[in-house]
């Protein structure tokens, strides 16, 4: 009987300890809502990486620089973005409630690279000699000039197939013509005297005879 009483007391102590630990863990969680902005113009920094230091998790700010993540009180937020200096922010341990707002200003970081001169020759003397005395043929310039002539461009416009924009425009024109006679029969030249007269003249001229080449 005494053993069972000890077991019940031990079990109650473990349950109470776990409950108290869970309550303390819940009280330590905080929802961080914030925005990353430039320090000089107060514009949102999109794509800024917000990481919890010493933890393998974080988030990325949206197009307006707004972000949100869950952390613990006392954690350190690490802000990094391309072209900006890395910043750190420590969440206060005495935050009341479970919500906290952060406005992190990001300072632009400028890198100055050394001057680099690219030349097609290993030495300055060889480049100067080629620049002064080499005779570069104008074959490529002549080909480019012929390809940009008005006659050549007109021939290419007639021979090349239509692209997506031109095909869409032709289809929309066809749909617009059909919409004019929507709900009724389109006109027909079957009973038109002018059409029959034109057909008779074409038949007399021999336009419908089979031609031999």
Q: Is residue 33 assigned to a domain?
A: yes
Total domain count, the chain: 1
Average pLDDT over residues 26-55: 90
Whether residue 202 lies inside any domain: the answer is: no
For residue 207, tell me if it sits in a domain.
no
Q: Report yes or no on whether pTM surpasses 0.75.
A: no
67 is a domain residue:
yes
CATH number of the CATH domain containing 28: 2.60.40.1120
pLDDT at site 1: 53
Residue 61 lies in a domain: yes
Is 39 inside any structural domain?
A: yes
Contact between residue 142 and residue 152 where contact means Cβ atoms under 8 Å apart: no
| pLDDT score of 140 more than 50 | yes
**pLDDT at 184 > cutoff 90:** no
pLDDT at 186 over 50: yes
Q: What is the pLDDT of residue 52?
A: 92
Q: Which pair of structure tokens corresponds to residue 16?
A: 């109470």
Q: Cα separations (Å) of 211 from 45, 198, 201, 208? A: 75, 20, 18, 9
Residue 77 to residue 55: CA distance in whole angstroms: 10
Half-sphere exposure of residue 81, counting CA atoms within 13 Å on the CB side?
26
pLDDT of residue 211: 61
Q: Place 59 in a pLDDT band, splitting at 50, 70 and 90.
A: very high
For residue 47 the two structure tokens come to: 């794509």
Q: Is 177 domain-assigned?
A: no
> How many of the other CB atoms lie within 10 Å of CB of 32?
21
pLDDT in the model for residue 88: 93
Considering the chain, what is the average pLDDT of its residues?
81
Domain that holds residue 96: 2-106
Indicate whether 79 belongs to any domain: yes
């Amino acid at each position: 009987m005494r053993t069972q009483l000890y077991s019940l007391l031990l079990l109650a102590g473990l349950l109470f300890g776990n409950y108290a630990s869970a309550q303390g863990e819940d009280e330590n969680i905080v929802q961080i809502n914030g925005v990353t902005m430039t320090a000089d113009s107060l514009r949102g920094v999109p794509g800024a990486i917000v990481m919890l230091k010493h933890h393998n998790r974080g988030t990325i700010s949206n197009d307006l620089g707004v972000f949100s993540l869950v952390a613990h009180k006392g954690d350190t937020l690490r802000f990094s973005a391309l072209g900006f200096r890395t910043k750190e922010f420590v969440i206060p341990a005495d935050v009341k409630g479970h919500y906290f707002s952060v406005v992190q200003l990001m300072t632009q970081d400028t890198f100055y690279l050394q001057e680099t001169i690219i030349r097609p020759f290993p030495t300055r003397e060889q480049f100067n000699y080629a620049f002064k005395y080499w005779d570069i043929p104008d074959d490529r310039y002549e080909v480019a000039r012929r390809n940009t002539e008005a006659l050549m461009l007109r021939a290419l416009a007639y021979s090349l197939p239509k692209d997506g924009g031109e095909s869409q425009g032709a289809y929309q024109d066809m749909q617009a013509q059909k919409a004019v006679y929507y709900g009724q029969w389109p006109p027909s030249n079957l009973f038109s005297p002018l059409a029959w007269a034109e057909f008779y003249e074409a038949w007399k001229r021999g336009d419908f005879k089979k031609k031999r080449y």
